[in-house]
Structure 1
Amino acid sequence: MNKVPNLPKSNTKTPWFWIPSLYFSEGLPYFAIVVLSTIMYKKLGISNAELAFFTAWLYLPWVIKPLWSPFVELFKTKRLWIISMQFLLGVGFAGVALSLSVNHYVQYTMAFFWLLAFSSATHDIAADGYYMSALDDGQQAFFVGIRSTFYRLAGITGQGLIVVFAGFMEKYYAIEIAWRTTFFLLAGILCIFALYHWFMLPKIESKNRSIPQDQQNIAQIMENISNVFATFFQKQYIALYLAFILLYRLGEAQLGKIAALFMLDPREKGGLGLETLDVGIIYGTVGVFALVLGGIIGGILVSQHGLKYWIWWMALAINLPDLVYVFMAWEQPRSLLLIQALVAIEQFGYGFGFTAFMLYLIYIAKGEFKTAHYALATGFMAAGMMIPSMFSGQIQELLGYKLFFIWVIIASIPAFYIISRLPLDKAYGRMNHG
């Protein structure tokens, strides 16, 4: 039986007391910001074009967070950043709830969602940094599966259980009251996490800072940032790398923003006319489990044969299952069981195909400044989701759901051309390959 590696003497709190809660509280705001905002605006009557454009901008903090991550490392402690951001997230969710009862609520709620997005991205930086500082290599390896599991559970909660709760409230109260209550619930959860972590996160860092040393560190950090950017954009195949990052999910990025809206829109408008509660069950439970299963199987297969062997199959897996939405748009099925099965197929394919994407980001980052280059690559990854989803609502309103989902399939074609030209070591990704 595996045992947790011994803790340092200065750290008397077992990581079991804080790793599950830390990564659950990291994931929950992200899914609330990205998923709940879209569904809420849809239920409040905002058009697909408007809500897709404005909510897509909420990805921006995750695009640019590598720019301020060194300063989170430098100023104060990561423990203080975590607790402060969790409290600020609680305040932000309460702000969204309160703003729903005023005129011009769209502007006010979007302002709070911007606050939430930047706070959540900053929390990600601090939480990941704290994890690496508080644990030695053995502990990090032991708990990596635990942190991933609780982040996924946050996904099930944020885009599943919380949506189900909002849908349940809609059955008994006005939509505005239902969503106000939902965001007050989120505010309470984040404030409870902040209070819990105030007591449970070990104090592993010194609060004392030397001002001259900090000034020296700032100058050094700025120089390092310049070197990181310069060496990243000097990589031999950087144009192909960036094209791959931005285009691999071109179709999926548009579908991801519109899929829930399609489920919610009435049948006379081309949608499926589902209730909010149904959408929460479909995407937050069945969909997430299929997504995770696809990712697990993808990782196992790549470890056996290498990424080069599987990358074409994974590119097909992330795009071809989008045909289930073409079928649903044309046939408008009424069976919830059938809809759940079709979404599970698409989400399984996405999880399977996303494995290739993440592994290739690691491949791109190889060499000097590996960690920083990986962070830059993930920033471009977020941009690859933000930009297409920004215009997806306008395209859907122009084409209608039937032709929009066909367009999603067509939009996947450039990725296959890029893959045909990608440099890739044949053995990369295979177990025991360095």
Structure 2
Amino acid sequence: MKRINIRPLFLCLASLFPLFGNGQTPAQKFEGKILIENGILHTGTGQVIERSYIVVENGKITLVKNALAYTLDKSEFDTVINAQNQHIYPGFFAPNSTLGLTEIDAVRATRDFYEVGEYNPHVRSLIAYNAESSVTSTVRSNGVLFAQATPRGGVISGSSSLFLLDGWNWEDAVRLQDDGIHLHWPGFIKRNWKTVKANEQYTTEREKVNDFFTAAKAYAEDNSKDKSIDLRFEAMKGLFTGNKRLYIHANYIQELLDIIDFSKELTVQFPVIIGGYDSHLITAQLKDAKIPVMLGRVHDLPQRESDDIHLPFKLPYLLQKAGVTFCLQNAGDMEAMNARNIPFLAGTARAYGLTTEEAITAISLSSAKIIGVDKLYGSVEEGKMATLFISKGDALDMSSNKITTVLVDGNFMDLTNRQEELYQKYKRKYTSEEN
């Protein structure tokens, strides 16, 4: 009897799933003047307009007013959307994410976020971004319209880029190329499933990072014409001129204190901490150093037995109360597909201290400021790009987040996706059987 090994066949077929997935047609250019009226507008800046007018022309927001105190001639508009009793939000962000860089976590061929080697600042996520991802279309359905596609692995994993989750290809979707370099700071504590102990090599590993950055800074300051080109150091020049962020992945207090000193010594212009589990313990130092934090996943367990069981839920409130700039992100297991839950992370943070508007800011304007695109995105304000969505209910509550309309740069986005199609398919099936 001939035996067939089905495992390679299964993996081969699984790797083809993205090719047959439901890649949505990007939003087509809308020519005309749009009015969104009567909606409950959450601007992203902390302001709420209970009954609003929003005017969109040529992809930009040209007017935001209280409809109760302002008069418009509706005959001027090509499209009028009545959002009465619905909520309007700026597009939400998924910072520090592999969204767009991976499709099926169990299929290696679809994971394009990890490179070999320890120091890879010249690696770019930019051209690896997959605009045809089927995962992306499900994430957009909850209001997450931006992703900071971020490489992983090594000590320096490379450069991230910010993408609008709409476009024919990465050239269409990118909104900020190579926004920053990602450094994974040496761990002061070593953990595995059995033990937690101090890292005896911490000082050595930290000095190695310092030496690499010192060499990179010297390279950036060397203006001689005959110097040899180093692609790794070329990628890092923007860290010292202010053109790039340095995203430093770290959690524990000793690491965070060392990062503050490290950033000062090397005059890194825009350091950002990613993770920051112990950041609530040194808020004064972070605030003085003007270092923002991309907090780790709110839906997580405490890192120490002595910690408050609710500490991960409370961290956003603790930083908000101390005046530290922060945003929320979702790095961890299955992070690409779970990016759709970012609004609900903000909802949890709201339940543990943040106000509704503070929670919205934590996944919109704060993210935009930290990444560096807040002049165009992150809030619903005059002069910014019209990237926003309308929900029938509270977007931070999974029981009421039901999006009806999405605008991306003033164009109407198609909200269908593979999961929605399956839902409608089997809803019809079982409804017809009941009848």
TM range (shorter): under 0.3
* Higher-strand-fraction structure: 2
Q: Which has the larger radius of gyration?
A: 2
